Chains A and B, each alone.
Chain A
């Protein structure tokens, strides 16, 4: 079951802006939108956004998500040391009736 495509790593400086991408197809991201998860080492994932651009309560406004066609993006502004983590995108694939994940992007804050 093919997954979503994410760059393995992104590095940006403190207080800068990072944009992470996630590419799928018309059966998953393009149709159902994407969700973004943050995972710190040794901890379970935490939902950051859902249905492309919605933030759960308690998630900082520094995290914003969007979608264009089959590609979803997560933008993190004003990078902080605690933003250093692995970020995963996910989507429901209605053609395969499976959930798919991206391989994850490791964000390093320099």
Chain B
């Protein structure tokens, strides 16, 4: 069974940094794209970033502040978030795209940016 497990969320002050992790299992990590999608409290889903092979894509709202990376030895996806803003407050989901859709989702990790 394919599984995704996020960790690393928490409370951080504006301007601070946080690194999220997504531990994966049940599939060959290096063969598949992985993404981060977030959801602000009471709001809809927003795509954040995708890593596939050597390519990375970012939403304009996080470009230059967030960096997606992956460690194949640990089957883990990361999201380094710098210069955090209040509007980055959200549940961050790790998700596995496939067939032009987000097929598998983790349970999410909450990030709160507040002073």
Using CB atoms and an 8 Å cutoff, list the residues of chain A in contact with chain B.
1, 32-33, 35, 37, 39, 44-47, 49-51, 54, 56, 86, 88, 90-92, 97-104
Quote the shortest CB–CB distance from B1 to chain A (angstroms): 12
Chain A residue at minimal CB-CB distance from B45: A101
A47/B44 in contact, CB under 8 A = no
Quote the shortest CB–CB distance from B81 to chain A (angstroms): 18
A54/B99 in contact, CB under 8 A = yes
Q: How many B residues touch A, CB cutoff 8 Å?
A: 21
B106 at the interface (CB under 8 A from A): yes
Q: Which chain B positions have C-beta within 8 A of A91?
A: 100
Dominant secondary structure at the A interface: strand
A98/B57 in contact, CB under 8 A = yes
Known A44-B108, A45-B45; contact A99-B103, beta-carbon cutoff 8 A: no
Query: Please, how many angstroms separate the alpha-carbon atoms of A92 and B47 in the complex?
Result: 10
Known A44-B93, A44-B105, A97-B57; contact A32-B100, beta-carbon cutoff 8 A: yes
Please provide the chain B residues from 59 to 115 with a CB less than 8 Å away from any CB of chain A in the complex. 59-60, 93, 97, 99-103, 105-108
Query: Please, how many angstroms separate the alpha-carbon atoms of A45 and B50 in the complex?
Result: 17
Q: Which chain A positions have C-beta within 8 A of B107?
A: 44
